[in-house]
Structure 1
Amino acid sequence: MARRDFDPDSVRPDGRRAAKARLFDTEAAGPWRGSCPGEKMEAPVTVLAYGTDKPGEGPRLHVHPYDETFVIIAGRARFFVGDEVIDAVAGEVVFGPKSVPHRFENLGPGRLQTIDIHHSPRWIQTDLD
Protein backbone atom coordinates (compact mmCIF):
# COMPACT_ATOMS: atom_id res chain seq x y z
CA MET A 1 0.00 0.00 0.00
CA ALA A 2 1.52 3.27 -1.11
CA ARG A 3 1.40 6.16 1.38
CA ARG A 4 1.40 9.86 0.71
CA ASP A 5 0.91 11.54 4.08
CA PHE A 6 2.52 14.85 3.11
CA ASP A 7 3.97 16.69 0.15
CA PRO A 8 7.77 16.14 0.24
CA ASP A 9 8.27 19.56 -1.38
CA SER A 10 6.70 21.17 1.72
CA VAL A 11 9.53 20.10 4.06
CA ARG A 12 13.20 20.95 3.69
CA PRO A 13 16.20 19.18 5.28
CA ASP A 14 17.56 21.06 8.30
CA GLY A 15 21.23 20.31 7.69
CA ARG A 16 21.64 17.43 10.13
CA ARG A 17 23.57 14.45 8.79
CA ALA A 18 22.70 10.79 9.17
CA ALA A 19 24.45 9.33 12.20
CA LYS A 20 25.26 6.01 13.83
CA ALA A 21 26.14 5.12 17.43
CA ARG A 22 26.44 1.94 19.49
CA LEU A 23 23.40 1.37 21.71
CA PHE A 24 24.65 -1.69 23.57
CA ASP A 25 27.33 -4.33 23.76
CA THR A 26 25.76 -7.71 23.01
CA GLU A 27 28.13 -9.34 25.51
CA ALA A 28 27.53 -6.87 28.37
CA ALA A 29 26.25 -8.19 31.69
CA GLY A 30 23.45 -6.68 33.75
CA PRO A 31 20.01 -5.41 32.84
CA TRP A 32 21.00 -1.97 31.55
CA ARG A 33 22.80 -2.80 28.35
CA GLY A 34 23.45 0.77 27.20
CA SER A 35 22.07 4.06 26.04
CA CYS A 36 22.47 6.40 23.13
CA PRO A 37 21.82 10.06 23.93
CA GLY A 38 20.07 12.01 21.21
CA GLU A 39 22.57 14.84 21.74
CA LYS A 40 25.29 12.53 20.42
CA MET A 41 23.50 12.25 17.07
CA GLU A 42 21.69 15.63 16.98
CA ALA A 43 18.44 13.73 17.47
CA PRO A 44 15.37 14.62 19.57
CA VAL A 45 15.26 11.22 21.34
CA THR A 46 17.50 9.14 23.61
CA VAL A 47 17.37 5.35 23.24
CA LEU A 48 18.05 2.83 26.03
CA ALA A 49 18.30 -0.97 25.93
CA TYR A 50 17.09 -2.95 28.94
CA GLY A 51 17.00 -6.72 29.42
CA THR A 52 16.68 -9.19 32.26
CA ASP A 53 16.22 -12.93 32.58
CA LYS A 54 14.83 -12.71 36.13
CA PRO A 55 11.03 -12.65 36.54
CA GLY A 56 9.88 -9.81 38.82
CA GLU A 57 12.94 -7.70 38.05
CA GLY A 58 12.76 -4.29 36.40
CA PRO A 59 13.55 -0.61 36.80
CA ARG A 60 12.50 1.14 40.01
CA LEU A 61 9.58 3.58 40.09
CA HIS A 62 10.67 6.82 38.43
CA VAL A 63 9.45 9.83 36.45
CA HIS A 64 10.64 11.94 33.49
CA PRO A 65 9.77 15.49 32.36
CA TYR A 66 9.06 14.08 28.86
CA ASP A 67 7.17 11.15 27.30
CA GLU A 68 8.68 7.67 27.05
CA THR A 69 7.85 4.87 24.60
CA PHE A 70 8.73 1.24 25.35
CA VAL A 71 9.14 -1.36 22.60
CA ILE A 72 9.00 -4.93 23.86
CA ILE A 73 11.51 -6.91 21.78
CA ALA A 74 11.30 -10.23 23.66
CA GLY A 75 9.35 -11.66 26.56
CA ARG A 76 6.46 -10.35 28.64
CA ALA A 77 6.30 -7.27 30.86
CA ARG A 78 3.92 -5.67 33.30
CA PHE A 79 3.98 -1.86 33.25
CA PHE A 80 2.78 0.33 36.09
CA VAL A 81 2.10 3.80 34.65
CA GLY A 82 0.36 6.05 37.16
CA ASP A 83 -2.80 4.14 38.12
CA GLU A 84 -2.70 1.98 34.96
CA VAL A 85 -1.42 -1.60 34.85
CA ILE A 86 -0.57 -2.76 31.33
CA ASP A 87 0.66 -6.22 30.35
CA ALA A 88 2.62 -6.29 27.10
CA VAL A 89 4.39 -8.94 25.03
CA ALA A 90 7.05 -8.98 22.33
CA GLY A 91 5.94 -6.92 19.35
CA GLU A 92 3.90 -4.47 21.41
CA VAL A 93 4.56 -0.84 22.35
CA VAL A 94 3.65 0.94 25.60
CA PHE A 95 3.45 4.72 26.00
CA GLY A 96 4.28 6.52 29.25
CA PRO A 97 3.18 10.18 29.39
CA LYS A 98 5.53 12.80 30.81
CA SER A 99 5.43 13.45 34.57
CA VAL A 100 3.54 10.18 35.26
CA PRO A 101 5.49 7.81 37.57
CA HIS A 102 6.17 4.43 35.99
CA ARG A 103 8.08 1.18 36.21
CA PHE A 104 7.93 -2.27 34.62
CA GLU A 105 8.93 -5.82 35.45
CA ASN A 106 9.64 -9.07 33.69
CA LEU A 107 6.63 -11.41 33.88
CA GLY A 108 8.69 -14.38 32.68
CA PRO A 109 9.28 -17.05 31.79
CA GLY A 110 12.52 -16.18 30.06
CA ARG A 111 14.13 -12.96 29.00
CA LEU A 112 12.48 -9.56 28.83
CA GLN A 113 14.20 -7.22 26.36
CA THR A 114 13.01 -3.68 25.73
CA ILE A 115 14.08 -0.66 23.78
CA ASP A 116 13.09 2.47 25.72
CA ILE A 117 12.72 5.69 23.74
CA HIS A 118 13.02 8.86 25.80
CA HIS A 119 11.47 11.79 23.96
CA SER A 120 14.39 14.04 24.86
CA PRO A 121 17.92 14.51 23.53
CA ARG A 122 19.20 13.48 26.98
CA TRP A 123 18.13 11.05 29.70
CA ILE A 124 16.58 12.95 32.64
CA GLN A 125 15.09 10.91 35.49
CA THR A 126 14.06 11.12 39.14
CA ASP A 127 13.78 7.84 41.06
CA LEU A 128 10.83 7.75 43.44
CA ASP A 129 11.66 4.70 45.59
Structure 2
Amino acid sequence: MIDDVCALVDSEIEESLARYAAKASSTGAVVVASGDIDQLSGNYRGLVGELRRRGTGVLLMPSRTDGELFALRCPKLDRPRPGNGFLVHRGELTELQVAQVAAPARSSPDGPGDESSCTESG
Protein backbone atom coordinates (compact mmCIF):
# COMPACT_ATOMS: atom_id res chain seq x y z
CA MET A 1 0.00 0.00 0.00
CA ILE A 2 1.43 3.34 -1.08
CA ASP A 3 -0.01 6.63 0.16
CA ASP A 4 0.61 9.67 -2.07
CA VAL A 5 2.31 7.72 -4.85
CA CYS A 6 3.16 10.95 -6.67
CA ALA A 7 5.58 11.85 -3.86
CA LEU A 8 7.72 8.91 -5.00
CA VAL A 9 8.12 10.09 -8.61
CA ASP A 10 11.84 10.31 -9.46
CA SER A 11 12.81 8.95 -6.04
CA GLU A 12 15.38 6.21 -5.42
CA ILE A 13 12.72 3.61 -4.62
CA GLU A 14 10.34 4.34 -7.52
CA GLU A 15 12.10 2.07 -10.05
CA SER A 16 12.03 -0.91 -7.66
CA LEU A 17 8.35 -0.36 -6.89
CA ALA A 18 7.55 -0.06 -10.62
CA ARG A 19 9.26 -3.42 -11.28
CA TYR A 20 7.34 -4.97 -8.38
CA ALA A 21 4.04 -3.56 -9.67
CA ALA A 22 4.77 -4.92 -13.17
CA LYS A 23 5.20 -8.44 -11.74
CA ALA A 24 2.37 -8.20 -9.19
CA SER A 25 -0.47 -9.56 -11.33
CA SER A 26 1.50 -12.65 -12.34
CA THR A 27 2.39 -13.45 -8.73
CA GLY A 28 -1.04 -12.76 -7.23
CA ALA A 29 0.20 -9.71 -5.36
CA VAL A 30 -1.78 -6.48 -5.27
CA VAL A 31 -0.38 -2.97 -5.21
CA VAL A 32 -2.69 -0.30 -3.78
CA ALA A 33 -1.74 3.34 -4.18
CA SER A 34 -3.43 6.68 -3.57
CA GLY A 35 -2.73 10.02 -5.14
CA ASP A 36 -4.08 13.35 -6.31
CA ILE A 37 -5.97 12.99 -9.58
CA ASP A 38 -4.33 16.06 -11.15
CA GLN A 39 -0.83 14.70 -10.48
CA LEU A 40 -1.70 11.14 -11.50
CA SER A 41 -3.32 12.18 -14.78
CA GLY A 42 -0.17 13.83 -16.08
CA ASN A 43 2.14 10.92 -15.30
CA TYR A 44 2.66 8.12 -17.85
CA ARG A 45 5.98 6.59 -16.81
CA GLY A 46 7.54 4.83 -13.87
CA LEU A 47 5.45 3.54 -11.01
CA VAL A 48 2.39 5.69 -11.73
CA GLY A 49 2.47 4.69 -15.39
CA GLU A 50 2.70 1.02 -14.45
CA LEU A 51 -0.26 1.32 -12.08
CA ARG A 52 -2.30 3.16 -14.71
CA ARG A 53 -1.68 0.35 -17.21
CA ARG A 54 -3.32 -2.10 -14.78
CA GLY A 55 -6.63 -0.36 -15.54
CA THR A 56 -8.07 -0.90 -12.08
CA GLY A 57 -8.76 1.76 -9.49
CA VAL A 58 -11.26 3.69 -7.44
CA LEU A 59 -12.28 7.25 -8.25
CA LEU A 60 -13.92 9.01 -5.31
CA MET A 61 -16.16 12.02 -5.91
CA PRO A 62 -14.95 12.16 -9.52
CA SER A 63 -15.59 14.87 -12.04
CA ARG A 64 -16.58 13.73 -15.52
CA THR A 65 -12.98 14.07 -16.71
CA ASP A 66 -11.30 12.20 -13.83
CA GLY A 67 -11.94 8.93 -15.67
CA GLU A 68 -9.35 9.99 -18.25
CA LEU A 69 -6.82 8.47 -15.85
CA PHE A 70 -8.20 5.14 -17.13
CA ALA A 71 -9.02 6.32 -20.68
CA LEU A 72 -12.77 6.71 -20.04
CA ARG A 73 -15.29 9.32 -18.98
CA CYS A 74 -17.21 9.14 -15.73
CA PRO A 75 -20.96 9.55 -15.85
CA LYS A 76 -22.52 12.01 -13.45
CA LEU A 77 -23.17 10.45 -10.05
CA ASP A 78 -26.86 10.19 -9.16
CA ARG A 79 -26.38 11.38 -5.58
CA PRO A 80 -22.84 12.72 -5.08
CA ARG A 81 -21.71 12.56 -1.45
CA PRO A 82 -18.46 11.90 0.43
CA GLY A 83 -17.16 8.41 -0.29
CA ASN A 84 -19.24 8.06 -3.46
CA GLY A 85 -17.48 7.11 -6.67
CA PHE A 86 -16.64 4.35 -9.11
CA LEU A 87 -14.66 1.15 -9.14
CA VAL A 88 -12.85 0.98 -12.48
CA HIS A 89 -11.82 -2.42 -13.81
CA ARG A 90 -10.72 -2.93 -17.42
CA GLY A 91 -12.88 -0.10 -18.75
CA GLU A 92 -15.98 -1.03 -16.74
CA LEU A 93 -17.39 1.36 -14.14
CA THR A 94 -19.31 0.21 -11.07
CA GLU A 95 -20.76 2.85 -8.77
CA LEU A 96 -19.72 2.41 -5.15
CA GLN A 97 -20.02 3.98 -1.74
CA VAL A 98 -17.09 3.74 0.65
CA ALA A 99 -18.34 3.18 4.18
CA GLN A 100 -17.43 5.52 6.97
CA VAL A 101 -17.29 4.03 10.42
CA ALA A 102 -18.39 6.37 13.17
CA ALA A 103 -15.84 6.90 15.91
CA PRO A 104 -16.80 5.04 19.08
CA ALA A 105 -18.10 7.14 21.93
CA ARG A 106 -15.45 7.89 24.52
CA SER A 107 -15.86 6.29 27.90
CA SER A 108 -15.68 8.23 31.11
CA PRO A 109 -15.66 7.20 34.76
CA ASP A 110 -19.47 7.66 34.80
CA GLY A 111 -20.05 5.26 31.90
CA PRO A 112 -19.76 5.03 28.12
CA GLY A 113 -20.43 8.15 26.12
CA ASP A 114 -20.82 10.49 29.10
CA GLU A 115 -18.14 13.11 28.49
CA SER A 116 -19.49 15.66 30.95
CA SER A 117 -17.47 14.32 33.85
CA CYS A 118 -14.12 13.90 32.01
CA THR A 119 -11.39 15.96 33.59
CA GLU A 120 -7.71 16.46 32.91
CA SER A 121 -5.24 15.69 35.61
CA GLY A 122 -1.91 17.26 35.43
TM-score (norm 1): 0.27
Structure having the higher strand fraction is 1
Structure having the higher helix fraction is 2
Larger radius of gyration: 2
Structure with the bigger RCO (C-alpha within 8 Å, sep 6+) is 1
